[in-house]
Amino acid sequence: MLNKLIWSFFLVLLCNQNALAQLPDFTEMVKKEGGAVVNISTTQKAPAGADDLAQEPQLPEGIPPEMEELFKHFFNGQGGGYIPRETKSLGSGFIISQDGYVLTNHHVVKDADEIVVKLSDRRELLAKLIGSDARTDVAVLKVDATDLPVVDIGDPNKLQVGEWVLAIGSPFGFEQSVTAGIVSAKGRSLPGGNYVPFIQTDVAINPGNSGGPLFNMDGKVVGINSQIYSRTGGFMGLSFAIPMDIVMNVVDQIKASGKVARGWLGVQIQDVTRELAESFGMKKPQGALVSKIIAGSPSEKAGIQIGDIITEFNGQQIETSGELPPLVGMTPIGDKATVKIIRQGETKTLPVTIGLLPEEEEKVAEAKVEAKPDNRLGVSVTDLTNEQREQLQVIQNGVLVQNVVKGPGRDAGIQRGDVILRIQNNIVRDVADFDKIVKNLPVGKSIAVLIQRQGSPVFLALKIEK
């Protein structure tokens, strides 16, 4: 009996040792790479004379800078008049050249009057903002120093889902904090991040980590930690990093010209849902569905049409709409590209010359009116006046949705104020067109409807059950 217990003990010990042997050891990587990771603090001064308006409240000692700002915000909102002399923020960054180029996030240094970079050896250096790019959330700084420790840049395209990764940064101001996890997904699209295919990880990232490096197991930086998904403001297991190939493209352009130029097709796109795929006769949902063509854009000149589904760009397959903008954005202006599309069930390949992405986003408007629906969709519409066309940016065709009641239209997501432009490839010119098309719609089949909402076109899929 004793021999069995001893043997069982050795088996458990052996299994534990094997399990431990499989876990990664980050100690050497942290020793080697930690010196190139920096803490970044910024100061934004209040307008002249503002600091004389009220006396600064007494705050608890030893609280983190983020909590200090929270207290000040509370006193400003509830105490009646305190305006801070200056606001401060904290972030992270890393050194990419021995002569002092430092990378961080755009949002870390946005509107800063002063930027201080604290090195791992405790030196604090004033930094100059060379340039930043809001669309990718990347900023390039320069400090006056030489022989600095630097990181090695890795290839994020070689990352695999499930691979271990490591982050070093200053969450809540705690410098040189190390967290680790795995790659959860690649090529994630996030709101406001159309030109970045984010790397998703479960590495613990918190306020202050922004701008810090994400390392692979070879000790090379594969991304800049940028965002978290959270319902509480703290880490919930979903963090996102900007891939370094995107970052270095931005860096090279900023160092060369001080700004970033991106390729542009001039289309608005959306994902193909299962219902939309059925309405277009596709076997499975894939590609980027074109919902709008910008007048005079490269896409219009190339012959791309509303309702086309882009499935390849320059030989690279497009599974979701979020995969297209980064590919186009990184294509040099003026280059020739090929776009493979599906149009009404047929596959075509079109040549297109890449244009320059405009700086300004299109403005949107909204119109609201009322009426009582009396058709199969439960949607009442009216013809657009010239004033409404100008306000809603609808040049021609389309009818304005006045009201939506229970029925296929509401189930599909049609809302009051939408402009219906097409129904199953039929252009809706006016109310008479709309009534005729709706009357002849088939039962039990998914139907694609193109609407414009707040200036942006989008396809919806509806189905009349009976």
pLDDT-derived band at 192, boundaries 50, 70, 90: low
Catalytic hit among 107, 230, 433, 456: 107
Catalytic hit among 133, 137, 308, 418: 137
Choose among 98, 226, 109: nearest CA to 151: 98
pLDDT (0 to 100) of residue 200: 95
pLDDT over threshold 80, residue 49: no
In whole angstroms, what is the distance from residue 431 CA to residue 448 CA?
A: 18
Strands (DSSP E) contained in 35-123 are 37-45, 86-95, 101-104, 114-118
Out of 43-47, 225-229, 307-311, 421-425, which region has the weakest mean confidence (pLDDT)?
43-47
- The residue written with tokens 């604290």 in the block is 118
pLDDT (0 to 100) of residue 364: 32
pLDDT (0 to 100) of residue 8: 63
Of all residues in the chain, the percent with pLDDT exceeding 70 is 81
pLDDT (0 to 100) of residue 59: 47
Over residues 413-425, the pLDDT tens digits come to 888 888 999 988 8
pLDDT (0 to 100) of residue 15: 56
Q: Is 170 noted as a catalytic residue in this protein?
A: no
In whole angstroms, what is the distance from residue 87 CA to residue 256 CA?
A: 32
Reply yes or no on domain 152-257 having CATH 3.40.50.720.
no
pLDDT (0 to 100) of residue 12: 57
Q: Is 106 noted as a catalytic residue in this protein?
A: no
Tell me how crowded residue 443 is: count the other CB atoms within 10 A of its CB.
9
pLDDT-derived band at 17, boundaries 50, 70, 90: low
Domain 263-356: which CATH class?
mainly beta
pLDDT-derived band at 72, boundaries 50, 70, 90: very low
Contact 328, 263 (CB under 8 A): yes
In the chain, residues under CATH classification 2.40.10.10 are 32-143, 152-257
Over residues 136-172, the pLDDT tens digits come to 999 999 999 999 999 999 999 999 999 999 999 998 8
Catalytic hit among 41, 89, 184, 210: 210
In whole angstroms, what is the distance from residue 352 CA to residue 329 CA?
A: 14
Range 307-324 average pLDDT: 92
Length of the chain: 466
- The residue written with tokens 């990232």 in the block is 205
Pinpoint the alpha helices (H) of 179-241.
Answer: none
Over residues 244-269, the pLDDT tens digits come to 999 999 999 999 988 899 999 999 89
Out of 72-81, 156-165, 300-309, 408-417, which region has the weakest mean confidence (pLDDT)?
72-81
pLDDT (0 to 100) of residue 371: 52
Reply yes or no on domain 32-143 having CATH 3.20.20.70.
no
Out of 36-50, 177-191, 219-233, which region has the weakest mean confidence (pLDDT)?
36-50
pLDDT (0 to 100) of residue 79: 44
pLDDT (0 to 100) of residue 74: 43
Q: Is 73 noted as a catalytic residue in this protein?
A: no
pLDDT-derived band at 90, boundaries 50, 70, 90: confident
Domain 379-462: which CATH class?
mainly beta
For the question of whether the overall pTM of this predicted structure is more than 0.75, the answer is no
In the chain, residues under CATH classification 2.30.42.10 are 263-356, 379-462
